[in-house]
Chains A and B, each alone.
Chain A
Amino acid sequence: AQSVAQPEDQVNVAEGNPLTVKCTYSVSGNPYLFWYVQYPNRGLQFLLKYITGDNLVKGSYGFEAEFNKSQTSFHLKKPSALVSDSALYFCAVRGNYQLIWGAGTKLIIKP
C-alpha cells in the first residue's frame, strides 16, 4: 500500500540554523512527491514537488527538498531558518488520482 510517514511531530530549530523536516514514502512505481506548508488559520500552500530529474528540488521561500530513492526519503531543507518559517508542514505522495498525505510536522523556529 502507498503511504507517507513524517516521523517527527515537531521540530525545533534556532533562527539562522539549518532545518530539516523528514519524510519517507512507500509507493509502487515512480514516486511523485510534494511538500505543502500550512500557516495558522490558513489553507495549505504548495512549496515544491519532485516528479523526475535532479534529486535536489528548489521551491518557494528558500526551501528545497532532497529526493533519495535508495532511502525512500524526501526531506525538506532550508539553509537558514527564519522565525516566519514556523508552521505545519505536510509531505504527500501521489496515489491514484489523489494525494496521500503525511500527518504533518510542526516546525518551530526560536529567535
Chain B
Amino acid sequence: EAQVTQNPRYLITVTGKKLTVTCSQNMNHEYMSWYRQDPGLGLRQIYYSMNVEVTDKGDVPEGYKVSRKEKRNFPLILESPSPNQTSLYFCASRRGGLRLWPQHFGDGTRLSIL
C-alpha cells in the first residue's frame, strides 16, 4: 500500500530536549515536505526537498532542521524545542518534475512542548 509514515504520532516533551520526527514514503517520490498545522492558519510549510541531498526552507523554518540522505526518508529535527513549536505536523510527498502531482500526506504527529 502506498503510504507516508510518520513517527511518533503523539509526543509530549519538555523545552530544550532534542527530538526527531521521522517520515518515510514507499512511493519512490522525489519531492517531500514538512508542514505544521495550527488552528486558523491552515498549513504552513517548514522545509521541502526536491530530491536526495537537496533541501530548502519553506515559510516557517526557524527552529527546525531536516536532512534527505535517502530518497524515502525525510526526518524533521527540533534541536531545542520551545513551546511555540507545539503543533500538528505533517509530512508529505509527491512525484517530482514540473507536473502538479498530488501530494500524499502522513497521518500527522501531534507535538506538545511543555
> B9-51: contact bitstring with A at CB < 8 Å (1 yes, 0 no)?
0000000000000000000000001000000111111001010
The answer for the CA separation of A1 and B92 in the assembled complex, in Å, is: 24
Is A45 interfacial (CB-CB < 8 Å)?
yes
Is A94 interfacial (CB-CB < 8 Å)?
yes
A interface residues, Cβ below 8 angstroms from B: 9, 32, 34, 36, 41-46, 49, 51, 90, 94, 97-99, 101-104
Which of B42, B48, B90, B107 contacts A103 (CB under 8 A)?
B42
Interface size of B by Cβ–Cβ distance < 8 Å? 22
**How many A-B Cβ pairs are below 8 Å?**
49
Is B100 interfacial (CB-CB < 8 Å)?
yes
Q: A41-B108, A42-B107, A43-B90 known; A97 and B48 CB under 8 Å?
A: yes
Is B103 interfacial (CB-CB < 8 Å)?
yes
Provide the residues of chain B in CB contact with A36, threshold 8 Å: 103
- In the assembled complex, 20 residue pairs joining A and B whose CB atoms fall closer than 8 Å, in A order, are A43-B90, A43-B92, A43-B105, A43-B106, A43-B107, A44-B92, A46-B103, A46-B104, A49-B100, A49-B102, A90-B42, A94-B100, A97-B50, A97-B56, A98-B48, A99-B45, A99-B103, A103-B40, A103-B41, A103-B42
